[in-house]
Amino acid sequence: MSDKIRKQLNLSNLNQVGFVVRDIKQALALYEPLFGPFSTMDPGSMSYTYRGQEEECELRLAFGSSGDVEIELIQWVSGGCPHKEFLDAGREGMHHLRFIVDDLDKDVKAADALGYEVIWTKRWHEGLAVAYLERSGDPLVLEFFEHHAG
Q: Residue 119 pLDDT > 80, yes or no?
A: yes
Q: Residue 1 pLDDT > 70, yes or no?
A: no
Taking the C-alpha atoms of residue 149 and residue 131, their distance in angstroms, rounded to an integer, is 18
Q: Residue 50 pLDDT > 60, yes or no?
A: yes
What are the structural domain ranges in the chain? 3-147
What per-residue confidence (pLDDT) applies to 5? Answer: 78
Domain 3-147 CATH class label: alpha beta
What per-residue confidence (pLDDT) applies to 9? Answer: 84
**E strand or H helix at 37, and its extent?**
none
Whether pTM exceeds 0.85: yes
What average pLDDT score do residues 57-84 get? 98
Report the Cα–Cα distance between both ends of the chain, in Å, rounded.
32
